[in-house]
Amino acid sequence: MGSAPVQAQWGTTLLPAIDQPAPEFVLEDSQGHPRQLQDFRGQWVVLYFYPRDFTSGCTLEARRFQQHLDQFHALQAEVVGISADSVTSHRKFCEVEGLRFPLLADPAGTVSRQYGSWMGEMALRNSFLIDPEGVLREIFPIVSPSQHYAEVLTTLEDLQQA
């Protein structure tokens, strides 16, 4: 018999269950194109939620993911950011910071809520690691903007070697 799916609670927010299909979504990227989780099938997805474009911690976190993007791609992983900011804000943020990974606009917090990543009017700072079949493999409920990329890379390597 397999073990029961693990479902955790962060504050008053219920997180999705590990080892279960990740919640599907359709959101617009920084160019206004609809993107869905299925678009990334066949590769790992680092789905990270963050509060706001152009704030110090969020900018630092995005820069770190960008600086190490080639390492993620070498591990067949795509980095995808989600916040409540608009498509226009994401477009400007990507241009100013030179981001080459998708940022998705979730202004109503619908997807953020599905992932237990919503607080009031903005996304919480946390991340989810989704495997190539769309199964949630790891949750990072508390992250350091400056070092989170390293934690995700290490976990991704460990999961791929398991």
The answer to the question of residue 147 being in a domain is yes
Specify the range with the lowest mean pLDDT, choosing from 1-5, 51-55, 71-75.
1-5
Q: What percent of the chain has pLDDT over 90?
A: 85
pLDDT at 5 exceeding the cut of 90 = no
pLDDT at 83 exceeding the cut of 60 = yes
What CATH number does residue 155 fall under? 3.40.30.10
Q: In the beta sheet, which residues pair with residue 103? A: 81
Query: What span, in angstroms and rounded, lies between the C-alpha atoms of 41 and 60?
Result: 28
pLDDT at 6 exceeding the cut of 50 = no
58 in active site? yes
The answer to the question of residue 13 being in a domain is no
The answer to the question of residue 47 being in a domain is yes
pLDDT tier at 162, thresholds 50, 70, 90: confident
Query: What span, in angstroms and rounded, lies between the C-alpha atoms of 53 and 123?
Result: 11
The answer to the question of residue 17 being in a domain is no
The answer to the question of residue 53 being in a domain is yes
The answer to the question of residue 4 being in a domain is no
Mean of pLDDT over the chain = 92
The H-assigned helical ranges of the chain are 56-67, 69-74, 87-97, 110-114, 148-161
pLDDT at 48 exceeding the cut of 50 = yes
Record the pTM.
0.91
User: By three-state DSSP, how is residue 38 classified?
Assistant: helix
Looking at the structure of the chain, the number of domains it has is: 1
Pick the catalytic residue from 15, 58, 129, 130. Answer: 58
Range of the domain at 139: 42-161
What pLDDT was estimated at residue 142? Answer: 87
pLDDT tier at 13, thresholds 50, 70, 90: low
The answer to the question of residue 25 being in a domain is no
The answer to the question of residue 80 being in a domain is yes
Specify the range with the lowest mean pLDDT, choosing from 38-42, 102-106, 140-144.
140-144
What pLDDT was estimated at residue 4? Answer: 39
Q: In the beta sheet, which residues pair with residue 44? A: 77
